[in-house]
Structure 1
Amino acid sequence: MSNTKVSILIPFKDTELYLPECLDSVLAQTHNDWEVIAIDDGSSDNSPALMQHYAAKDERIQPYKNRGQGIIPALQMAYTKAAGNFVTRMDSDDIMVPERLEWMLNALHSHGKGHVAVGQVRYFSHRGISNGYERYETWLNSLTAEGKNYDEIYKECVIPSPCWMVHRTDFDISNAFNPNRYPEDYDLTFRFYANGLKVIPCDKVLHHWRDYDTRTSRTHEHYAQNYFLDIKLHYFLKLDYRPKRPLVVWGAGYKGKTIAKRLLEMQINFVWLCDNPLKIGKKIYGKELVHFKTLKNLNHPQSIVTVANEAAQRDIKHFFSKVKQVPMHDYFFFC
């Protein structure tokens, strides 16, 4: 096993339009000690033939067919074939910049085990990028520039699924791709966080992230909002929740109601705050919504904030600052 070999895991399905650009970007890497473990997840187009064509020209590219169905079984299978001391993932419709592997490998060699190398990303699309994706890109890159990705982990996925690299031993400690929990990239990010892998800051765009209408994250039910909320709550209760402290849920929109319903199902007691005078004093799922002034009667509470309005979020952060509560300990923004 080479000390510098990077295993690049690429699940693919029906991406013949984009696969050549993806593989050409891998072949153009300045670091050439790599292997591609490519798993066909049931393609119905010409993708498998394209992959075989590239494999015939370069033995570092190793194509297989998924033994199961879906991206998690494909990633699990890919990892069983991997021989590198370093592991990364790549989406078959995206593009690496030429120095991506070299930069990440150097960062990991410099910082040692117990770290995850990430890169800044740039969205691109034939039709232009929506405001939502543009804001996500700006937010994600601002965190990556300082290595503070975990600071807002409960808001959104803070490590881009196709742009990270870790030591193989750290990947094993984080349980690799074993949990069958979607969205799989967000779940992996939480497991990096749970196992204390520190994020190495990066001020370079290392990955070009393609957006189009049939991209899996846009079309598959596993990437619907409720799946993200389930993962957030799962890891909050596992990692950051302190049962001896009062728990507060802020907001009664879709996310607030979903979180409240899950907590009630698990018989976890909480106070449900709302600023809508039409809802205060009423019950949803049998739980009464109360006014913010109720906070004064709580002793050192923990808060899940599901309020999406940015102006309201600023007001809430100002309130927490005044009462000397700190993020990721006393309060957690879920949106």
Structure 2
Amino acid sequence: MPRPLVSVVLPVRNGGALLAAAVASILGQTLRALELLVVDDGSTDGAVAALPADPRLRVLANPGRGLVSALNHGMQAARGAFLARMDADDESLPTRLERQLALLDAEPGVGICAAQVEIVTADGPPAAGNRAYQDWLNALTRPADIRRELFIESPLPHPSVVLRRAAWERLGAYRDGPWPEDYELWLRAAAAGIGMAKPDGILLRWRDHPGRLTRTDPRCTRRRLLELKADALARDVLRGRPVLLWGATDTGALLHDRLLAHGVAVRAFVDLDPRKVGGRKRGRPVLPVAAARAHADAFILATVSQRSVKPAIRADLAALGRVEGEDWLFAT
């Protein structure tokens, strides 16, 4: 078989009835020059053995155990110039890979191309929280937008991504740690200056269900995500700058603790609530918004997670002469 243009890595453990549809959605792509590597992570349900024969399909046994091991094994076996991801319970629309490679061809500064998604459930449309999350994900298509909101939460749906091989080799393998392996990789990519983007239009049906790893895996808890973000902020963004935490919240307190462990100088919290202003949080003063002007050298991390109030926070910080991405960011 000729060397494929794209290698698609699909790890699976007991994919059940959904696996066949996920595989068919890749083998049915309009871009035909691909290989699909199904990495079996100890399945016992017979779904992998029941997959149809296709010269572009290779089934690999994971020599280790777990998702990160399976992902790295598939990436190491991949032969394509581009490396794509797929999950066993999702469905790629037919033009997904063709559209993503067109973007990568047109934009050499982009090393990772994800996709806009439709979140689907067995019970119909997703709940309001997932609809808001979907809208947020799909609004972030350009590299500057993704980089600006990278620390709110992971802006790239993992099963939708395509990476240039050069970007993958520069970043190295997925890391197996107490946090989501995909988000950790995107944070490293941003630190390395690798652009991330998405073409316009839904290209993946992303299935939500009670057994989804983001709901069940302890690596995906709020605390673990915050620790991962704090580590990357301290290492790659702050670089010795003191910090003001915008929002005297419980999340702000957790971020304070993790940043402090990295030696970051957290000067104070900033809050609008008059009941909090003048008090202390984690031993730091809680300042009114206007007082932030006296700390022009400090980087501001906003820790208020409600999407509805983010425009007001942006307006307040703009009024203080702050530029998002240069001297302040949302951290939740």
Q: TM-score, normalization: structure 2? A: 0.91
- Equivalence for 1:161: 158
Q: 1:11 to 1:77 in 2, by over 3 A?
A: same
Separation in structure 1 between the aligned mates of residue 321 and residue 161 of structure 2, nearest angstrom = 35
Q: Secondary structure at the match of 1:87?
A: strand
Retained in 2: the 8 A contact 1:36–1:60? yes
Question: Residues 195 and 265 from structure 1, CA distance in 2 versus in 1: closer, same or farther, beyond 3 angstroms?
Answer: closer
Task: Find out whether 1:227 has 2:246 as its counterpart.
Answer: no
Identical positions, percent: 27
User: What is the CA deviation profile of residues 246-275 of structure 1, one whole-angstrom value per residue up to 9, with x for unaligned ones?
Assistant: 310122323111101112333422122234
Q: Name the counterpart of 1:332.
A: 329
Alignment deviations for residues 286-307 of structure 1 (CA, whole Å, 9 cap, x no partner): 4443443432332332101101
Give the equivalent residue in structure 1 for 2:207: 210
Tell whether the 8 Å contact from 2:112 to 2:196 is kept in structure 1 after alignment.
yes
Q: How many residues align?
A: 330
Q: Structure 1 residue runs of 4+, over 3 Å off?
A: 1-4, 178-181, 274-294, 309-312
User: Is contact 2:115-2:202 (8 Å) kept?
Assistant: yes
List runs of 5+ in structure 1 lacking aligned partners. none
Structure 2 counterpart of 1:83: 79
Equivalent of residue 268 in structure 1, options 255, 264, 276: 264
Aligned residue number for residue 41 of structure 2: 41
Match runs of 1:54-65 below 5 Å: 54=51, 57-65=53-61
Residue 179 of structure 1: how far off its partner (Å): 5.5
Shift of residue 65, structure 1, vs aligned partner: 2.7
Residues 234, 63 of structure 1: alpha-carbon distance in 2 compared, 3 angstrom cutoff: same
Q: 2 CA distance for matches of 1:173 and 1:334?
A: 26
**Among candidates 112, 122, 131, match of residue 134 of structure 1:** 131
CA contact (8 A) 2:83 2:163 kept: yes
Asked whether the 8 Å contact 2:302–2:331 carries over to 1, the reply is: yes
Among candidates 70, 91, 97, match of residue 95 of structure 1? 91
Mapped partners of 1:14, 1:283: distance in 2: 51
Residue aligning to 2:31:
31
Residues 177 and 135 from structure 1, CA distance in 2 versus in 1: closer, same or farther, beyond 3 angstroms? same
Q: 2:195, 2:142 → 1: CA distance?
A: 13
Q: Is the 8 A contact 1:147 1:202 kept in 2?
A: no
Rounded Cα–Cα distance in structure 2 between residues aligned with 1:133 and 1:179:
27
Aligned pair 1:319/2:316, yes or no? yes
- Give the Å deviation of 1:321: 1.0
Q: Aligned pair in 2 of structure 1 residues 223, 259: CA closer, same or farther (>3 Å)? A: same
Q: Aligned partners of 2:47, 2:17: CA distance in 1, in Å?
A: 10
* 1:125 corresponding residue in structure 2: 121
Closer/same/farther in 2, CA of residues 145 and 21 from structure 1, 3 Å limit = farther
Question: Aligned letter for 2:199?
Answer: C
Q: Does the aligned pair in 2 maintain the 1:36–1:61 contact within 8 Å?
A: yes
User: Structure 1, residues 143-182: CA drift from partner, whole Å, max 9, x if none?
Assistant: 1268732221111111110111122111111223246462
Q: 1:158 to 1:284 in 2, by over 3 A?
A: same
2:19 is the alignment partner of 1:19: yes
More displaced 10-residue stretch of structure 1: 211-220 or 145-154: 145-154
Does 2:38 align with 1:71? Answer: no
Where does the alignment leave 5 or more consecutive residues of structure 2 unmatched?
none
- Aligned-residue CA RMSD (Å): 2.3
Q: Structure 1 length normalisation: TM-score?
A: 0.90
Residue 263 to residue 193, structure 1, CA distance change in 2 (3 Å): closer
Q: Tell me whether 1:299 sits opposite 2:329 in the alignment.
A: no
* Aligned counterpart, 1:107: 103
Evaluate the alpha carbon distance shift between residue 43 and residue 288 of structure 1 in structure 2; reply closer, same or farther with a 3 A threshold.
farther
* Compared CA separation, residues 238 and 328, structure 1 to 2 (3 A): same
